[in-house]
Amino acid sequence: EAGVVQSPRYKIIEKKQPVAFWCNPISGHNTLYWYLQNLGQGPELLIRYENEEAVDDSQLPKDRFSAERLKGVDSTLKIQPAELGDSAVYLCASSLGRRGRDADTQYFGPGTRLTVL
């Protein structure tokens, strides 16, 4: 079974440029998460989707970040414009999303390492 797929794996851009990351979750997983991982830190949740609905985006900086999950399968996270401080690893994860389950195992992709120059 394929795991969570993310692309690109690495991205280098200049500040003020836009950038987009793509994630394809494990087949059949209803819940999709985007995390931000700064160097030397643990991941921090940016947004969580239940199917097509963003049910928790309280930590997403909405002035420059946006996300979508059309058709409830793959998802795109966008930054426009990028700032120097956005350099980090962006992780996508997915889980079965069974209703009422607060401890479903989350499966992580390899991440996209963004460098903003």
Partner 1 sequence: AQSVTQLDSQVPVFEEAPVELRCNYSSSVSVYLFWYVQYPNQGLQLLLKYLSGSTLVKGINGFEAEFNKSQTSFHLRKPSVHISDTAEYFCAVSVTGGGNKLTFGTGTQLKVEL
Binding site for partner 1 (CB under 8 A): 4, 31, 40-45, 48, 55-56, 91, 93, 95, 97, 101-111, 113
Smaller CB separation from partner 1, 13 or 45: 45
Q: How far apart are CA 56 and CA 43, in angstroms?
A: 16
Torsion angle of the four alpha carbons 39, 36, 108, 34, in this order, in degrees rounded to the nearest 10: -170
Q: How far is the CB of 107 from partner 1 (least distance, A)?
A: 8
Helix (H, G, I), strand (E, B) or coil at 84: helix
DSSP notation for 1-63: ----EEE-SEEEE-TT--EEEEEE--TT--EEEEEEE-TTS--EEEEEEETTEEEE-TTS-TT
Comparing CB distances to partner 1, the nearer of 16 and 98 is: 98
Amino acid identity for residue 41 in this structure: Q
Q: Which is nearer to partner 1, 15 or 101 (CB)?
A: 101
Closest distance of CB 42 from partner 1, Å: 3
Nearer to partner 1, 81 or 87 (CB): 87
